[in-house]
Structure 1
Amino acid sequence: MSFSGEEGMKIEKLKNINWDIIDDELNWILPRTFKEKDVKEETVVLDDKQVTELMPRPSKKLEAGSSAELTRILDKRHPFETDFIMGPHDISVFDHYSKWICDGLLAKHEQRNEKEEHYKKNKSTVPISMDLGIQLITKKNWFYLLSFNGQMWNDEHIDVIFYYLRKKGKYDGKSTYKHTTVACIFKIWIGETFDKYVATNGDTSVAKEEDVICEYLRGYKLIANVPWHTVDNVLIPVNVKDIHHWVLAVVSFRDRCIRVYDSYRLAGYDTIVKIEIDKMAKILPQYLSISDFYRKREGIDWSQEPAYNDKALLDSFDVVCVDNLPQQRHGSKDCGVYVVAYAEYLSWGAGIPIEDFDVNLLRTRYGALLWNYGMRKQEDEAISHNEAPPKLVRPNIHSDICEKIIIN
């Protein structure tokens, strides 16, 4: 699909935006007169992933000199604001969602895999694209994978829920558990730096200040991100590809360790998981040091903390595998559900219960809450608060004259 003239220039500008730090909240500049019929979709490849962009067609109602009504802000920060994972739940929302998710299913939908369509053609799309912050949902199949047993959650599902848990941590002043989260790709960046570290026989200089990991630590790059020196814990989803398994890694700064929450504890699996987490335990101290984390962090006297005694700041973090956790059923594909549930329990400052999770309830709950949140934004013609991180300013070291470059 190609465009020319003024419309083409607008699209070229959009392609030059760093979409990793742009959220749906930037839509506040669009007037309410842009309806679904005024919108067309185009998929553009940016940074090796596909991003669905909404291209507003010029509205006839918006002529030179005319005024436009701005879209209102949704009153809820995140879907979990009034529905706690430990209950009580609004069953009426679950019921409405269950009817919607089951409408139009193929007769043998349960025999299809994650990549195949599970709905009849006229029921497979979401009539109005559903805005979930960092993902624009156009296919009903996305919710199917969330809610039906035997379906593996992918990084899109994990990222959306961790995005809202990040917002929860940012604005929930009542919780004693101060946390933030990262996106699934964070683990890949850690792995790339670790590979360089190994290839150079342990040269710590492979971790550089301009690396994207440092941007994460300083509160940039991610929607609703906060600087790591303002929290006590960072919740990191980790996909262990060798065993097709999700685990939760929690970086605890006060205890100087990485706690691993794993829903499938077996001797062989534990070894593979620990190899993956050890990469993070080795590399993170390098980035914490070069990003001035220890100097900026307030409220902790590092010289007096027991976990830091007799250890250099660049030493690896300890890795602790948490015991006595609810475990998934053998052969199930519920590891992503468990990772998200572990993270949400922790985010409320509550301990994780020993009793087994009701996976059917959790799958329905996450699907229903996200669906209901997206529907409310549509019905109220509302958007979320602006969560774009601040612009990153760096000196231009390639010029004889030092000037500031703002990276969008």
Structure 2
Amino acid sequence: MLCNTPWSLVDFVLFPINMTVVGCNHWILGEFNVKERFFKVYNSMRNRVMDKKVLKVVEAYSTLLPLFLSLNNFYESREDIDLNAQAFKGIDMCHPLDIVFDDEVPQQSNNDCGIFIIKFAESLMHGLIENIPNPLNVSFQRNKIAVELYVHAKRKKDEGYLSDGEFRGRMSKKMLNINAMEV
């Protein structure tokens, strides 16, 4: 499945979330379950203090997602979603999503949490969570990601194809500055 697949065609959406906004240099993974209408949190460094910080950040997702979807009549346009199901029964579509912490996430030990959530998201998408090594070999995973990106770019160049949804216009100086700041 492509990253730019419309939400009207998916049942789950994954979000890498940086915790810097609450004074923490940490990454978590969020999962919006479209059909069951909840937001699941995958955190590889769970404890009471961290859970409070995570909750503060994901409450924004929990609040804003239903508002945006409601404004676009998202649920009404999805024929595959039963609006009489328990997840929707008696709930205003603008009501915040329930937040659920997943207790099955392998707890990292001195790992790079950014690389960890990339590996975790990949494993989650393929149903292979139990195969995540702990401790994760961060150096190997970084190199693996770099090689995969290089091979993908080389194939695109050599075979001359464009990814669906790829930006085909010219980037303005403003766009270039924004992209440079994000790196």
Aligned match of 1:363: 142
Distance in 2 between residues matched to 1:289 and 1:245, nearest whole Å:
31
Following superposition of structure 1 onto structure 2, how do residues 41-80 of structure 1 map, counting pairs within 5 Å?
A: none
Larger radius of gyration: 1
CA distance in 2, matches of 1:326, 1:275: 22
Task: Please give the per-residue CA displacement for 1:62-85, whole angstroms capped at 9, x wherever unaligned.
Answer: xxxxxxxxxxxxxxxxxxxxxxxx
Question: 1:340 aligns to what?
Answer: 118
Contact kept in structure 2, 1:337 and 1:359, CA below 8 Å: no
Aligned counterparts, 1:68-107, within 5 A: none
1:326 alignment partner in structure 2: 106
Name the aligned partner's letter for residue 246 of structure 1: W
Which amino acid in 2 is paired with 1:297?
Answer: R
Residue number in structure 2 paired with 1:237: 16
Say which SS state the counterpart of residue 301 (structure 1) adopts.
coil
The one-letter code sitting in structure 2 at the alignment partner of 1:335 is: C
Rounded to whole Å, the distance in 1 between the matches of 2:135 and 2:39 is 24
Aligned-partner Cα distance in 1 for 2:164–2:143: 28
* Alpha-carbon offset, residue 290 of structure 1: 0.6
The amino acid that maps onto 1:306 is Q
**2:33 corresponds to 1:286:** no
Task: Confirm or deny that 1:382 pairs with 2:163.
Answer: no
Structure 1 pair 388–370 and aligned structure 2 pair: CA distance change class (3 A): closer
Equivalent pairs, count: 163
RMSD of Structure 2 on Structure 1 (CA): 2.1
**Partner amino acid, structure 2, of 1:289:** S
1:250 is paired with a residue whose SS is strand
Tell me, in whole angstroms, the C-alpha distance in 2 between the residues paired with 1:286 and 1:280. Answer: 10
How much does 1:273 deviate?
0.7
TM-score, scaled relative to structure 2: 0.79
Gaps of 5+ in 2: 168-183
Deviations 1:334-384 (A, max 9, x none): 111111112112222x14117525324322221221122223344x26343
The percentage of aligned residue pairs carrying the same residue is: 31
Name the CA distance, whole Å, in 1 between partners of 2:163 and 2:104: 38
Matched, 1:306 2:83: no
Q: Write the distance in 2 (CA, Å) between the matches of 1:376 and 1:230.
A: 28
Is 1:352 the counterpart of 2:129? The answer is yes
Query: Which structure has the highest helix share of the two?
Result: 2
